[in-house]
Amino acid sequence: MDKLKHTFHGLYKQAAESVMAPLADSRFHERGVLTPGEFVQAGDYLTQACPTWSWEAGEEKNRRSFLPGKKQFLVTRGVPCLKRAQAIQENVAEREVSEGGEDGGWVETCAVVSEERAADIDISGPPARCSQKGSPAPSEDAPDIDDVPDIADISLDDPGAQGVLVAAAAAPAQPGSNIVRTRTYDLSITYDKYYQTPRFWLTGYDEAGQALPPKAVYEDVSAEHAHKTITIESHPHTAVQAASIHPCKHADTMKRLSEAAAAAGKDVTVETYLVLFLKFIASICPTIEYDYTMSA
């Protein structure tokens, strides 16, 4: 999607949302979407299971009437990003393991699992690695990046899209210091009324806490999707220009993943929707170490 097409789509979406009623009846199992009430249910489960995530009210003028005043969107702050996505890809290449001769090779990948392995995703119980101090946990098993929606390219060259996005590479605070400064992110999840799904937002900072330009987001997004799923838009609740993973095919992806899990006897409920959603998002942002890991 070129810049002009994206602009027109944004205007159409805004007009449509102004007249359309919020989804009232559950279509979770049929279409992979959520009602506003189900979004709140899923958010409550996430915040209770992992206190690194919390509800925010946002700016009063930007609040959505179909959501509770104090539960407009979810946020987790100061999430470390120790590596660039390219480093992950290089590590994967180095970890290739050949078995069974020329015709039986396989590749052990890092931080990615396939849709066929959705049955292995654990979506019950307390968080495995959510510390009392709220430090996020590294991601290990996200759905395959082939499940990520591919939208057309978005230009991030717009001077007006100077956002608070990704930050500089990890580096020691001072020569000889054991303190390592890293890129950090504030991550948020909003409810998209038009697509009737959660939407994921990224706001990043360098090692000095300063905002960097939008193009830097590419360095922490899988190369396959950096120019296909990331848009720069105004955050609906804070009005800050931020990077967002476009939700145009989120519902289809979530439906497929939940069906695959259900076929293996895993009951994906409205409450656990965001846990599965975050594992899906981790395949796009494999180096951002937010907490979503659950254990029985």
| Neighbour tally for 256: CB within 10 Å | 16
In a domain, 178, yes or no: yes
Query: Is the distance from CB of 125 to CB of 295 less than 8 angstroms?
Result: yes
Q: What pLDDT, on a 0 to 100 scale, did the predictor assign at position 48?
A: 94
The backbone torsions φ and ψ at residue 77, rounded to the nearest 5 degrees and listed phi first, read -115, 155
Q: Answer whether residue 20 is part of any domain.
A: no
Q: What is the pLDDT of residues 137-183, one digit of tens each?
A: 434 443 343 443 333 333 334 333 333 333 333 444 555 555 667 88
Q: What is the pLDDT of residue 224?
A: 72
For 1-11, the pLDDT digits (tens) are 466 776 777 77
Domain span holding position 172: 3-9+38-64+71-95+109-119+132-247+266-282
CB distance 294 to 49 below 8 Å: yes
Active-site residue among 81, 130, 248, 285?
A: 248
Q: Does residue 22 carry a pLDDT above 70?
A: yes
| Known catalytic residue at 248 | yes
| Domains in the chain, number | 1
* pLDDT at residue 56 tops 90: yes
Given this model, what pLDDT does residue 129 score?
Answer: 39
Residue 294 lies in a domain: no
φ and ψ of 113, to 5 deg = -130, 160
What gap in Å lies between CA 166 and CA 202, rounded to an integer? 8
In a domain, 195, yes or no: yes
**Cβ pair 78, 289 in contact under 8 A:** no
Does 83 map to a domain?
Answer: yes
pLDDT digits (tens, 9 = 90+) for 23-46: 999 999 999 999 999 999 999 999
Question: Over 80: is that where the pLDDT of 100 sits?
Answer: no
| Residue 126 belongs to a domain | no
| pTM greater than the 0.85 cutoff | no
Please state the rounded mean pLDDT for residues 62-87. Answer: 91
Instruction: Quote the CA–CA distance of 49 and 293 in Å, as a whole number.
Output: 10
Looking at the domain assignment, is residue 27 inside a domain? no
pLDDT tops 80 at residue 77: yes
In-domain check, residue 24: no
